[in-house]
Structure 1
Amino acid sequence: MRYIADLHIHSPFSRATSKAGNLQGLATWARVKGIHLVGTGDFTHPGWFSQLKKQLVPAEPGFFKLKDQAIPPPLPQMTPAALPCRFLLTAEISSIYKRHGAVRKVHNLLYVPDFASAERINSVLAGIGNIESDGRPILGLDSRDLLEILLERAPEGFLVPAHIWTPWFSLFGSRSGFNTIEECYGDLTPHVFALETGLSSDPGMNRLIPALDRFALISNSDCHSPGKLGREANIFHTDFSFFALREALKNPLTGAFAGTIEFYPEEGKYHADGHRNCRVCLEPSETRKIGAICPVCGRPLTVGVLHRVMELAERSEPYYPPGSPAVHSLIPLPEVLGEILGAGPATKGVMALYARVIDRFGSEFNLLLDTPVAEINLLSPVLGEAVARIRTGRVIRTPGYDGEFGVIRVFAEGEREELSGQISLFAGKKPTPSAKKKASCLSLPEKKPSLAADLPKAPRRPNPEQLAAITSKAETILVAAGPGTGKTFTLVARIEHLLSAEQARPEEMVAITFTNRAAREMQERLHRDLGDTARTIFVGTFHAYCLALLRQETPDIAVIGEDGRDLYLRKVFPGLAGAEHRLLKKQLAGHVDQLNRGTLPADADLPDLLTRYLASLAPNRAIDLDLVIPQCVERLRNDSAFFEKITGRMAHLFVDEFQDLNHPQYQLIMLLGKQARVFAIGDPNQAIYGFRGSDLTLFQRFRKKPDVTTLALIRNYRSTPAIIDGAAALIRRNRQSGDTQLVAESASATLLEWHQAASAHAEADFIVRRIEEELGGINSLSRHTRQSTGQARSFADFAVLYRLSQLAEPIAEALHRKGIPFQLVGATPFYLKSALKVAGHFLLASAPDAGLGEHLQMIANLSGVGEATISLLEKELPLRCPDFYRAALALPLPAGTATNIRKMGETLENFRQAAEHGLAFSLAEAMPGLGINPQGDEARRLLQLANAFGNDLQAFCEHLRQNALATVYDARAEAVALMTMHAAKGLEFPVVFLAGLEEEILPCSIANLHSDMEEERRLFYVAMTRAQEHLVLSAAASRTVFNRTAAHRVSRFIEEIPASLLRETFQPLSKRRQVSGRQLQLF
């Protein structure tokens, strides 16, 4: 069967699409155009997918048809041929990610034969990003990984790279693509067998590149309204089924893939090089002469498809292997009729004539491809002449560039006047001249310099200051290291130097950090450089180190954290009333605070309730998490044998973030330093944890010790001069500021950006708009694309920081509306919310090392398990209960309760065993028994997370535990980071937004959260210096915080930044442009 297929379209759920693009509208226009098979587009969008399932029924294998076959004509007096219209499930994914050190923006098309395959793919993608915001979802997903998902979840489906030459969003795009297909899809490249050429290229251009010879080159409309169907299409001569179509593309020289219907490539809006706003349009040779920099604005030109093809071409003429599909270059019929009448293609007169032509010839493609010219001449000789010229390529071409469509004309200007008599007979009136003309390209003015300025890379070899710290012979060293000066590099290099110089053995080294994230980073660097030698170096937090010491003699000691304290108190003090619980917690918090600040008198008389609690810990082989470090210090101080054992095997102690030490941590370092050489590093200007007991004076006290050698790192490799100078001017206002003056190694002249919005929501919109601009647009329709900075960015390059977590909501909502992926650091994890909470508890209880509290949280959801049962289990079972369910069933429980607990134990055990073959599959099997629909959006997200851990249940549970109180930053995620300024400590991003810079918020004095002014200034300093290339500061004139709406003045800290470093940005005052459902016009 010979049939025509348009396999790439978009639904009304995509942006800038027509509401008429529903299934009925697509079927109607498919008949008008002469198309037998149409891609559905957008099956990833839940709303559109629901409509597809309701309105389509299976037809031929892998194809679908409308349940309701009553298809009205799109225009009056139009009766197209009654072609069988079928649908094929398709979707387009926009991937923005980093690969091989560069930002990539690639669009891929997915094709599947059935709804089950689409559902499986959707379940995975829903766990990666927001698939509801746009019919073409934007995901931080590598194209290679997307292909792997397709092959695993829909093995009968196939992937086609979309419009492979589009500059901004494609496989070979000049702005964000690759040079070879293997670079993009890696080991899975053999599974790609077809490429979509796009409107701006044709098969001839692609056949200049030998590497593309094996691929089928397909062409589609990528239409956003049904009237634009068939701008490009494919011709097949094979069985009418999904599987025959797929085989025809796999083997494109057999004749089954018979041909393509093409735009003239010059008509595509990215064919030539140029800048639309600057009215600069160039041929590739002209672009190369001026270094691809716009001579008007000084920014990089949008390099077009022709230029990019010539860069990769290895032939001077296209090569078509025998049996290659035919190529038919056409002009859409409304454009032809519009040219004949001298009117726009969508005007009323042209569309009326279009209806008459379709009614006469049955379909547009029948007229343009198959109807003899002599037969067309019977209706109109001028139309017959136009079709004859189109079929033989005798047309006049003006190329499109930088998003502006080109113009293809059939007749020269003089010919229209000569043919006016024939036109009059055809249309009933003489033509009127069209007022709209294609602007000609300007001559080249004097070239302006580029605005881009690269930041320096941190040197692989240490600079003189770093080298002095790395190689110092001093016994005790304190390094003052400002932000971006290579603190971690220097610390790791010091360890490696000592090992290489044989001055120490790895097992004699201890490196203490403040966060698990910092510890992981240091471990990774050491392992990368030292291999297995790094395994015997202890690298961890203060808590981890002290707990490791204490567990040497009490391996099974239970740690009582905040989440387990209530359980412990109920178990050890069953008669304690609720008020006493709360009082004890308050007394414990005060006690810990005094210990951390060093204000607890040696002979302090503790409250009776607190004394009883502290005395209960040792007999129960437990320790309070907040007392791990003080108890370790006490043990080292009072137990000489323990002290000798620990310090006897330690030669070198390394301490990170020394400025954040509290008194027990400082005492620990002083004790260990009696026997070991100490290398401490930190920055007094970044001391931001005074609210939890850190004491900046300890840094100064240590510095003043006579045996301490003080060094400094002053070269900043992270930020621009404006960021460094602005932060320095700010921090100099502090009485306790460090005396080290940073020197920015960057030569960038970029200023800080400042914006004040009317409200928090307006501020959020501004931030999202600026993210779009910096990204260079998030899709090919983005109105911000042309305002790109010229610097390639991915979602992970952006962070939005704020003083209070309450400020995140409007920003998160604005990002969600735009479909921009983000990670909200510090939020309650999704798997412990609402309906998924049961699954979260189930997984935590399934961990091999699950404690009593985690098991009790799980069974508390079971029928028949009430307060009495929980109280009994709390009282009778130990805190660490490896065989919880057997021990629980040994207790006197009601029969029904015991049965439910036994069943849950069996379910958990079955899950553990099944997890050995894959966590995601086993969890999906368990979900129905927990009352959870595995197809729900959040459930699918959890399954995707589980899938990332393969069959490693322990690692998965540890990840869930670490995020149980609040989500932590994941550097692997291709997403914009939203987090508090405190949470951003130790991180860096190319582009940083600091939001909510208002009095009462920063410095913070709202809702009784009064803070130390100098520490608030240090916090702002830390936030500013997270930025590498671009820092955007913003505030709102009015904001609602803690349920109180009030006007806010700009933070005093903004005034402390020199005005010469700030560039104020204003929100556009014009009305927000409405998104039109119409496709861009060709003329």
Structure 2
Amino acid sequence: MKFVADFHIHSHYSRATSSELTFEHLHKWAQLKGVQVVGSGDLTHPGWLQEMREKLEPAEEGLFRLKEDVARAMQPEIFTACQQPVRFILSGEISNIYKKHDKTRKNHHVVFLPSFEAVEKFQTSLEKIGNIRSDGRPILGLDARDLLEIVLETDPQAYLIPAHIWTPWFSLFGSKSGFDSIEECFEDLTPHIFALETGLSSDPPMNWRLSTLDRYTLVSNSDAHSPQKLAREANLFNTDLSYPAMFEALKRRNLQTFLGTIEFFPEEGKYHYDGHRKCNICWDPETTRKHNGICPVCGKNVTVGVMHRVAVLADREEGAKPDNAAPFYSLIPLPEILAEAYNIGSTSKRVQQSYEYLLTHLGSEVAILQETPLEDIERIGGGLLAEGIRRMRAGRVKADAGYDGEYGVIKLFDDQERKSLTTQLGFFPGLPTKSAQKQNKQENVEDTVSPPGRGEGWVLESGDLTPLATHPSPLPGGEFLTSPCKKPCISVLKEDGVGSFLLSGLNPQQQSAALCTDTSLIIVAGPGTGKTRTVTHRIAYLISEKGVLPENILAITFTNKAAEEMANRLISLVGESLANRMIIKTFHAFCAMILREQAEHIGLDPHFTICRETDRHTLLKSVLPALKDQEIAQCLEQISAAKNQLLTPDASPTGDSPDFIAHYRKYETALKAYRMVDFDDLIFLTVQLFETQPEVLRSYQQRFQWIAVDEYQDVNFAQYRLLKLLKALDVNLCVIGDSDQAIYGFRGADRTYFLQFQQDFPDAKTLYLNQNYRSTQSIVAASRQVILKSPESAALELWSEVVSKTKLDIYHAPTYKAEAEYVVHEIEKMVGGTTYFSLDSGRVESHAEGSYSFGDFALLYRLGAQSQPLFEAFQRSGIPYQIAGQTSLYEYKDIQVILACLWALFAQDARFYLQFLARQTNKIEPFLNELRQSLNTQPVTQLIERIHNMISFDDLDEKRTERLKRLLSRAAPFGHNLQQFLEMTVLHKETDDYDQRADRVTLMTLHASKGLEFPVVFIVGCEETLIPYQREGKTYNLEEERRLLYVGMTRAQQKLILTCAKKRFLFGQTKQNPPSRFLQDIENALKEIQQRAGRKAGKHSKNNPQLLLKL
């Protein structure tokens, strides 16, 4: 007999699935859809197995049916024309996350078993490996090959089919974590794989491009997360209705028994094309290659879709068809066809009424779409519907491909065509007219869903739809729906003259700050309280509601990343054209802009070069060759400190040694001779300019009448003086920060300026942000207990609504190596362990253990020297990681040569760099002269490539090639603007090297972590001499060390682990230090002592005093 089978579905035990996924509703919807055999789904879950036993009974061999009394209760809900027998086959999906061949692999598989006894046996085997009770689709830290082995050992008729084999995440061939071949995954057990599930984003022709797949049967299933999604893809059989007969057909690939598949149009799948959903970037593979896979909006790697991945692995051209290929039928779900015809949503009441009308008169959905004569469809549904189905069957569709989790859209008509055909052909002649629907509106009031803002009994009709861009609909949390390709509309809705769009997402404290525009303002904002959000919404409010010109706004940050984030947020709030008219820069970038604009007033060439840190060392060494490297470094530190205090060599304090003053003077003379300025000069010279040229200062005061400064607690004297000069009486200054997060005293920063802001500007107002949106309340409470012990603390009352029973963990390791192994073990457990975290579900809160990706973890330490044992442990484990703030890209010699060439091109009198290049090669000058001819016509990336090709390096290894790619990637956004690119290479900070795109565990210093956040944070080395850091013979700032730990602790969103080691090898010495004194400041109720890694706890381990760390 011929029948339709949909093997891969889920139950209500799976996360992010419908509560209607019960056997009763599956029985009903299988008939409405036209499916005779339905997968049970979730066979690994003990609770679902219990429901199977309660509601199912054996039918044909290996198949089950709903018990008669249960089925009878559902019968009234099934239209007579759709009624047919339904059978269930025991199946379920399993997620495997594991490491293989030094890579993390994430695969999903559908397992089939012939009996309840086999299911029970299978569950017993899996429960020894992982948690199968928390999710209907469990995640196991188990190699796919080993899972297949367990399946084969369970029952002679147990089978495994790799699921949705092309999905970027969680699939056999996925671009993110899959393999390049089936053999690589299943090894010696590969012969036991006979079928592959294509998934929603691919169809058979795409799979036919791989000749290695010719020997497998291609199956398709709905992967339904609700009963209504059944049969969106399915399989067609012509066999006896039994478990053995179906699998025999799949194994033999007999076209007489396996008749092919029902398919989505693959473009409708949500991973068909490449792109970024949040950035509205959707690309075909060729476009992705042209952009080197980098999103132009956020600068991150785009998600590579199925089409791209197929093209990478394919050995055939498009259109190739292997012998014995099974047929397939691409269909569009009937509600979507109806929705397009009506030009309304597919879940609307009108669509639902029409859908039920069709099923009542014509039978099941699959039958209507695939085989019902068009004249019958036209008689019941009208000519427009018949024409749409005719086009669908002929493949005449228009597709907007899905990408990065966003479903695609398949269309049968354009708008004009639809209107014309509706008039010509008619639509649902048997349904009541619109006027009749209105007359009967009151009769249907109980069945009508009233949208927000509508009265009871309102009936949705196409003429009532309003474009979202005109009237956005509020979502929970105050966010608004807007059309993704429309320009943002500021202040769409008004409340008492206030832009509710800008204020609706802010809490009352944030709103007060955004609305405070009549005076200068200091915002005391604790960690995670929404600093950037508040400042950007305040700026947007100034533009949209107060009529402030963007050109009159200056926003200053401390890092390039912070400036970029602020700019991106403002683009989303006010649009790109307005945002680009503001100045959003770091202190140093802002001052570089001023010095180039006013170069003649300060005696500079507008094309002056900026001296990098390594160049400062070379420069000072050239004029003081007798000094040792360590002495050079110390002298440069002193010079930097002097400039931060705005001190010239002639104005140095009397306490400075004559040698230092002489060295400082020689250094300054050398800078001027080479027409260079150093990093600290940018602010130093700008302050000098403003102090000596009052008319220049006044021009900038008039230009920037609204100034916002981020992280004000970190300003030094030179930055403070700069802002004092810019702050005229008619200039509105808004600063935001937290004195408890002041951690840069060693660089000259002084939190005093934050604390005395009210004294400096008596007209200023002080506001507070107390609600932490980042961390759980327990993390907020523990970190606050640490900082409150400081006599210098501002004692800001922080709180969080994110409640979690998870305590702060403290682990005491016997050695620093054991500490590193513990961290690796904990991450492996949390990533590969117990609970599935669905990318598709949109969950962004409260990750359960086992739901993390590697990018969710950060390891923080006081000193870079602590990273070595961690680095070694991660290498052994195979967990991907990145060390942020280690060796900057710009410190490698090959990159320095390229940058020197670029500086020489930018400033023709760049003698310092010309001399440097002359030492590298004797043919540089003619080459640079040639390159200058096309300087203004070539983008920076082409200049870099030409320079790289010209220079002969000793070794063109893979690391050098990778560094070149990184440099090109950073240069690409600058286009032809060589000046801005060069300034970026000089002005970048340690945290700018942190790559948020990488799905890797991040290792970084506590200082580098400032401004970042991670779901899980480990702080290692929480022991005396490290936290607080105490160098022998050196004084240290105990309270700044306390603030540094506070900053580290408040980077954690959901879980915080502090570790210490009894023995630590550092700087050539083994030392034994007690746990940090700061740990004693955390009350016992908020912390939990962790047992020794790798040792199983006894029954009463929580009460075992030998396992407790005594603080």
Q: Which runs of 5+ in 1 are unaligned?
A: 1-103, 109-130, 141-160, 178-197, 207-211, 213-217, 236-245, 266-303, 332-454, 781-787, 863-896, 1073-1083
CA distance in 1: counterparts of 2:512 and 2:203, whole angstroms: 66
- What amino acid is the match of 1:775? V
Secondary structure of the 1:501 match is helix
TM superposition score normalised by structure 2: 0.52
CA distance in 1: counterparts of 2:830 and 2:1049, whole angstroms: 18
Secondary structure of the 1:564 match is helix
Following TM superposition, by how much is the alpha carbon of 1:959 offset from its aligned partner in structure 2, in angstroms? 7.0
Alignment partner of 1:815 is 2:874? yes
Counterparts in 2 of 1:244-263, with a 5 A limit? 260=216
Alignment partner of 1:505 is 2:561? no
User: In the alignment, is the contact (CA less than 8 A) between 2:834 and 2:851 conserved in 1?
Assistant: no
Alignment partner of 1:931 is 2:954? yes
User: In the alignment, is the contact (CA less than 8 A) between 1:721 and 1:748 conserved in 2?
Assistant: yes
CA distance in 1: counterparts of 2:982 and 2:105, whole angstroms: 26
Alignment partner of 1:560 is 2:616? no
Counterparts in 2 of 1:974-1013, with a 5 A limit? 974-1008=999-1033, 1010-1013=1035-1038
CA distance in 2: counterparts of 1:1044 and 1:682, whole angstroms: 39
1:230 to 188, 191, 205: 191
CA distance in 2: counterparts of 1:200 and 1:523, whole angstroms: 50
CA change 1:742–1:249 in 2 (3 A) is same
CA distance in 1: counterparts of 2:677 and 2:988, whole angstroms: 22
User: In the alignment, is the contact (CA less than 8 A) between 2:161 and 2:194 conserved in 1?
Assistant: no
2:677 to 623, 633, 636: 623
Alignment partner of 1:679 is 2:726? no
Alignment partner of 1:792 is 2:709? no
Secondary structure of the 2:546 match is coil
- What amino acid is the match of 1:200? L
Alignment partner of 1:669 is 2:669? no
- What amino acid is the match of 2:1085? S
Partner of 1:827: 886
Secondary structure of the 1:563 match is helix
CA change 1:1058–1:927 in 2 (3 A) is farther
Partner of 1:710: 766
Following TM superposition, by how much is the alpha carbon of 1:621 offset from its aligned partner in structure 2, in angstroms? 4.3
CA distance in 1: counterparts of 2:1033 and 2:222, whole angstroms: 60
User: In the alignment, is the contact (CA less than 8 A) between 2:776 and 2:802 conserved in 1?
Assistant: yes
Counterparts in 2 of 1:544-559, with a 5 A limit? 544-554=589-599, 555-559=606-610
Alignment partner of 1:478 is 2:517? no
CA distance in 1: counterparts of 2:784 and 2:871, whole angstroms: 31
CA distance in 2: counterparts of 1:316 and 1:224, whole angstroms: 26
User: In the alignment, is the contact (CA less than 8 A) between 1:844 and 1:957 conserved in 2?
Assistant: no
Instruction: Report how many aligned residue pairs link the two structures.
Output: 672
User: In the alignment, is the contact (CA less than 8 A) between 2:808 and 2:1087 conserved in 1?
Assistant: yes
Counterparts in 2 of 1:393-472, with a 5 A limit? 461-472=505-516
Q: Which runs of 5+ in 2 are unaligned?
A: 1-92, 113-125, 141-157, 167-171, 173-178, 197-201, 240-244, 253-475, 480-502, 600-605, 837-846, 1098-1111
Counterparts in 2 of 1:563-962, with a 5 A limit? 563-569=614-620, 576-579=624-627, 589-594=637-642, 596=644, 604=653, 607=658, 609=662, 610-611=664-665, 613-614=667-668, 621-675=675-729, 676-705=731-760, 706-777=762-833, 789-790=848-849, 792-829=851-888, 837-838=893-894, 841-842=897-898, 845-846=901-902, 849=906, 852-854=911-913, 856-862=915-921, 897=922, 900-901=923-924, 926=949, 929-933=952-956, 936=958, 939-940=961-962, 942-943=964-965, 946=968
Following TM superposition, by how much is the alpha carbon of 1:551 offset from its aligned partner in structure 2, in angstroms? 2.1
CA change 1:321–1:948 in 2 (3 A) is farther
Once the two structures are overlaid, the 10-residue window that deviates more, 711-720 or 944-953, is 944-953
Following TM superposition, by how much is the alpha carbon of 1:631 offset from its aligned partner in structure 2, in angstroms? 2.9
- What amino acid is the match of 2:627? A
CA change 1:742–1:996 in 2 (3 A) is same
Following TM superposition, by how much is the alpha carbon of 1:201 offset from its aligned partner in structure 2, in angstroms? 3.9
User: In the alignment, is the contact (CA less than 8 A) between 1:911 and 1:922 conserved in 2?
Assistant: no
Following TM superposition, by how much is the alpha carbon of 1:1040 offset from its aligned partner in structure 2, in angstroms? 1.0
Q: Deviations over 1:448-504 (max 9, x none)?
A: xxxxxxx99999621111111111144221111100111111111111111122352
1:1036 to 1061, 1069, 1072: 1061
Partner of 1:1049: 1074
Partner of 2:160: 200
CA distance in 2: counterparts of 1:256 and 1:645, whole angstroms: 70
Secondary structure of the 2:627 match is helix
CA change 1:1023–1:949 in 2 (3 A) is same
User: In the alignment, is the contact (CA less than 8 A) between 1:569 and 1:581 conserved in 2?
Assistant: no
Following TM superposition, by how much is the alpha carbon of 1:939 offset from its aligned partner in structure 2, in angstroms? 3.0
Q: Deviations over 1:951-993 (max 9, x none)?
A: 9585887776667989711222222111101111111111111
User: In the alignment, is the contact (CA less than 8 A) between 1:722 and 1:1061 conserved in 2?
Assistant: yes
Following TM superposition, by how much is the alpha carbon of 1:579 offset from its aligned partner in structure 2, in angstroms? 3.3
CA distance in 2: counterparts of 1:227 and 1:753, whole angstroms: 42
- What amino acid is the match of 1:709? K
Following TM superposition, by how much is the alpha carbon of 1:253 offset from its aligned partner in structure 2, in angstroms? 14
User: In the alignment, is the contact (CA less than 8 A) between 1:474 and 1:709 conserved in 2?
Assistant: no
Alignment partner of 1:541 is 2:586? yes
CA change 1:793–1:941 in 2 (3 A) is farther
Secondary structure of the 2:1041 match is helix
CA distance in 2: counterparts of 1:973 and 1:202, whole angstroms: 27
- What amino acid is the match of 1:838? D
User: In the alignment, is the contact (CA less than 8 A) between 2:712 and 2:735 conserved in 1?
Assistant: yes
User: In the alignment, is the contact (CA less than 8 A) between 1:801 and 1:978 conserved in 2?
Assistant: yes
Following TM superposition, by how much is the alpha carbon of 1:751 offset from its aligned partner in structure 2, in angstroms? 0.9
CA distance in 2: counterparts of 1:910 and 1:602, whole angstroms: 45
- What amino acid is the match of 2:191? G
Secondary structure of the 2:993 match is coil
TM superposition score normalised by structure 1: 0.54
- What amino acid is the match of 2:739? P
Q: Deviations over 1:200-238 (max 9, x none)?
A: 3489999xxxxx9xxxxx999768886535222479xxx
Partner of 2:230: 313
Secondary structure of the 2:614 match is coil
Following TM superposition, by how much is the alpha carbon of 1:648 offset from its aligned partner in structure 2, in angstroms? 2.2
- What amino acid is the match of 1:501? E
Partner of 1:1060: 1085
Secondary structure of the 1:806 match is helix
CA distance in 2: counterparts of 1:707 and 1:917, whole angstroms: 47
Following TM superposition, by how much is the alpha carbon of 1:514 offset from its aligned partner in structure 2, in angstroms? 1.5
- What is the percentage of aligned positions where both structures have the same residue? 29
User: In the alignment, is the contact (CA less than 8 A) between 2:554 and 2:582 conserved in 1?
Assistant: yes
CA distance in 2: counterparts of 1:220 and 1:549, whole angstroms: 57
Alignment partner of 1:1023 is 2:1053? no
Partner of 1:1081: none
CA change 1:941–1:330 in 2 (3 A) is farther
CA change 1:645–1:598 in 2 (3 A) is closer
CA change 1:727–1:257 in 2 (3 A) is closer
User: Aligned Cα RMSD in Å?
Assistant: 5.3
